[in-house]
Amino acid sequence: MEALWVVALAMAVAFILWTYRWSHPKANGRLPPGSLGLPLLGETMQFFAPNPTCDVSPFVKDRVNRYGTVFKTSVVGRAMVVSADPDLNHYVFQQEGKLFESWYPATFTEIFGRDNVGSLHGFMYKYLKTLVLRLYGQENLRAVLFADTDTACRATLASWASQPSVELKDGLSTMIFDITAKKLIGYEPTKSSESLRKNFVAFIRGLISFPVNIPGTAYHECMKGRRNAMTVLKRMMRERMADEGRQPEDFLDVMIEELRREKPVLTETVALDLMFVLLFASFETTALALTLGIRLITENPKVLEALTEEHEAIVRDRKDLDAGLTWAEYKSMTFTSQVTLEIARIANIVPGIFRKALQDIEFKGYTIPAGWAVMVCPPAVHLNPEIYEDPLAFNPWRWQDKMEITGGTKHFMAFGGGLRFCVGTDLSKVLMATFIHCLVTKYRWKTVKGGNIMRTPGLSFPDGFHIQLFPKN
């Protein structure tokens, strides 16, 4: 009996010591304030708690109020520093590859693939970025994708106008997926492509969810969706690898050309993970932002009026009133550009951007230890009243007479910053501007139901956003 007491006491002491070490990690300096929460679990539950507003999440807001703009926490078993500080955010992006490198939690790596572009560094990352810019860069965007986007927006809106109502997020996701999947993997809008898109929808629902991989959870469905989508991509790649006489038609063919080189830089795994990430990123983020944008425009008649004036003036200046949108017309959309920036600022599609410290970093009296993660928090900057007056107000005029943003800045990082500034930024802006042009020049609309948002911490529309379209005379 006495021996059992000794064992129990030893276990209790060991647990207390372990808990103490968890909550008081060693550092060569002064750690930022904050709590690491419970051992292993950390503050994961609080991080994923739902938030039904566009405001900064309570998880971040409460800790900024308590600790300041730089604090420590632990999420999904990883100690990290969260930055709501514009100076630290900018420093992290500028020191990519020197003091910091891209990093994501192990759950994200499982979801996106161990060789996904976000986990690659140095030469390999730059090499892949150069390949992707052949598809999403300004030259191909202007020469090919722009006209395809205009045609798709016209056809999609005409189709919606014949229906009693349409769920905007789902409709936009389908439209954008069809555009990008065709250019990426040659997929046509068929039942098979719809099946592939549904796998991505399942993937998306669990992307930013509590990482419990058991049947019935969002995370489990996410991993199942990834496996199904990867099965399709693998089959397509192997079929094309076997067809040596095939002429290049899409980005997958470009990947295969690279794989066939005498000394290829790419591996099949890297190529497949890249295709998977591009398919996901190219449609979901823009569809979410544009859905929220249309809701905001609907709720702000002055914005809608100014948009309509700008776009109807473009149509009036055409020799052929039914002609498609031109690149010159797109570049002339001054107010629309302000609207898309404001949508991106408020939407905050990416709630956190992760990096890892490569060495001990000193910042404003605090130490970020080597190996610790840093989560840059864009919403905390975009919705800071000291930076943006009345930050929750949808006010595109706040961007009037401001310089065009071609990369992330200290106060605007909706598309990231530094070496990893999003390569799809220009395509996203084109998609939003083109859709808005076709919508406001040819249709009126009304909200049927839904439009409420939820952040967990990613953005979603749990009840959808249903609208009805009415063609203008």
Please tell me whether residue 442 adopts helix, strand or coil conformation. Answer: helix
Per-residue CA distances from 287 to 27, 172, 290, 308, 401 (Å): 43, 5, 5, 21, 28
* Listed residue (87, 82, 72) closest to 36, CA to CA: 72
Q: Name 470's bridge partners.
A: 444
CA 276 to chain centre: 14
| Residue 21: partners with Cβ closer than 8 Å, 6 or more residues away | none
Token duo for residue 140: 């191909």
Given CA atoms 25, 56, 456, 184 in this order, what sign does their dihedral have?
Answer: negative
Residue 304 buriedness (CB in 10 A; 0-12 / 13-18 / 19+):
buried
Token duo for residue 328: 């010159």
Dist CA 414 CA 402 (whole Å): 16
User: Which run of H or E residues covers position 411?
Assistant: none
Contact between 420 and 96 under an 8 Å Cβ cutoff? The reply is yes
Would you give the DSSP letter of residue 397?
Answer: G
Biggest distance spanned by C-alpha atoms of the chain? 97
Please tell me whether residue 193 adopts helix, strand or coil conformation. Answer: helix
Sheet strands (E) in 229-386: 353-357, 361-363, 366-368, 373-376
Contact between 367 and 30 under an 8 Å Cβ cutoff? The reply is yes
**Binding site annotation covers 222?**
no
User: Which run of H or E residues covers position 448?
Assistant: strand 443-450
Q: Name 354's bridge partners.
A: 375
Please tell me whether residue 98 adopts helix, strand or coil conformation. Answer: coil
Phi first, then psi: give them for residue 373, nearest 5 degrees: -85, 150
Dist CA 447 CA 166 (whole Å): 10
Dist CA 132 CA 119 (whole Å): 16
Dist CA 16 CA 23 (whole Å): 11
Dist CA 182 CA 218 (whole Å): 28
Binding-site residues sit at 422
Annotated binding site for heme: 422
